[in-house]
A and B are shown apart, each in its own frame.
Chain A
Amino acid sequence: MKYRIRAGDIEHGGSASAKIKSELTRVGIDEFTARRAGIVSFEAEMNLIVYSDSGGTLSVRVEPDAVVVEARDKGPGIEDIDLAMTPGYSTAPEWATDLGFGAGMGLANIKKNSDGFEIESRIGEGTTIRCRLDRRENPRIDHQGGS
C-alpha cells in the first residue's frame, strides 16, 4: 500500500491511515498490530501534512512476521533529531495546534508503538522514517511497548 500525502491537507488528514488500518485488518493482521500500524501511520501522515515542504509518501508492507511502515518526504529536514524526538517539543504552527495537532508527541509516539524505528534526515534533502511492527499471536499478554 502506498499513499501520496499532500502538505497542508488537514481536511483529509488521517484518511490514508484509517484505510491502512482497515486494509491490514482485512488481510488478517491481528487487531493489535493493525491498530499500532494505524497509530504510527497517523502520526507520520500528520507530520507530512503539517511539516513537509511538498508532502510525501506513506507506504506499508506486510512481511511474514511484521508490518513495515515507511514515511518519506523531500524537506525541509530535521535539524536536531534528538530534540524533535523529545516528548512535548514541537515546532507546529498555530493552525495545527488549534486543531489539537502538534503537541510534540508524534515521533515519540511512533517510536513507542514500533519494535524497530529508524529515522534519517538531512536539511534540504528530506526525512525518512521506517518502523517495524512485529506481528503478535497474543499481544495483550507479552507486550512490553516498543524500544
Chain B
Amino acid sequence: MRLDELAMTIEGETLVRGTRSDLQIEHAYAADLLSDVLSLAEGEDRTTLVTGMINPQVMRMAEILSIAAVIVVRGKLPPQSMVEYAQELGIPLLATRKTLFETCGLMFAHGVSPCQTKPVHDMRDHQ
C-alpha cells in the first residue's frame, strides 16, 4: 500500500514524508529491541519498521538496514533529533496512538506481509 494509505489505515500522523513518492509498503517487522531489529539483515529491501523505540539509534539502524519507513506506536512522540534525522535520510516517519499489536494487525489485514528473516537464536538448536 502507499504511504498515505498506510497512515490512514493506522490512523497515524506523517511526521516525515520521505523522498520517494512512489514508495509501496509491502513488508513489515516489529521490534522494541535494537538487537532484534538488527537481525533483519536478510529482510526485504523495503521493510517497514514498527517500534516503540524513539531514540536516535532507531534512524541510524533504519539507514543501515535500508528500512523503507519507520512507524512509532503507543502515542510516543519522537524527539526532534529523530525527526530531523529522518528528514535528512529521506526516510518516512509516522506516529500512531495505537499499540504495537493493533498497528501490526491493521497492516496485516491490509495486505502488508511479514518480512522473511532468520532468527539469531534458533530454539530448535536446543531440542
Contacts and interface: CB of A to CB of B under 8 A. Distances in A.
A21 B121 contact: no
Interface stretch (A55-63, A65-73, A99-107, A123-131): A99-107
Interface of A is mostly: helix
A35 B56 CA distance: 18
A100 B120 contact: no
Query: Chain B contact residues: over half helix, strand or loop, or mixed?
Result: helix
A17 interface: yes
A113 interface: yes
Given A14-B61, A17-B60, A103-B33, A35 B66 contact: yes
A48 to B, nearest CB: 14
A21 B39 contact: no
Nearest to A112: B120
B5 interface: no
Contacts of B65: 35, 38-39
B33 A100 contact: yes
Interface string A101-124: 101111011001100000000000
B63 interface: yes
Contact of A42 (B55, B56, B64, B66): B64
A31 B67 CA distance: 12
Interface string B27-47: 000001111101101100100
B57 A103 contact: no
Interface string A65-87: 00000000000000000000001
A96 B57 CA distance: 12
B118 interface: yes
- Pick the most buried of A21, A140, A143: most chain B CB atoms within 10 A of its CB: A21
Given A14-B57, A100-B33, A35 B63 contact: no
Nearest to B58: A100
A86 B60 CA distance: 26
Given A105-B33, A109-B38, 13 more contacts: A11-B56, A13-B57, A14-B57, A15-B60, A39-B65, A42-B34, A100-B32, A103-B34, A104-B35, A105-B36, A109-B120, A112-B39, A113-B41
